[in-house]
Amino acid sequence: MGRTNGKPLRGIRALRKRTGLNQFDFWSRVGVTQSGGSRYEDGRRIPKPVRILLDLAYSDDPDIAGRALARLRSGLTVNAR
């Protein structure tokens, strides 16, 4: 999957079709509704957390998945009480 750095993912529809999944199944794996996924496929900007989850769920490259996991972990905060 291509990196985006905040830009709409080009080819996200093609990626979904390569997986053989329908919109519901593809997008539900990353917590997105079918209608939301359809909007992303039509060019709406994909939020960074969703891009990270897409990398984790669908990347064949372990380096990309590892970087996505590091980005996810770096965004986590601990609530101090």
> Residue 7: CB partners within 8 Å, gap ≥ 6?
45
Distance CA 38, CA 23 (A): 7
Domain locations in the chain? 12-74
**DSSP reduced 3-state for 75:** coil
What does each of the 81 residues of the chain score in pLDDT, given as a tens digit?
A: 444 444 445 689 999 999 999 999 999 999 999 999 999 999 999 998 899 899 889 988 888 888 888 887 887 654 444
Flag whether the pTM goes above 0.85.
Answer: no
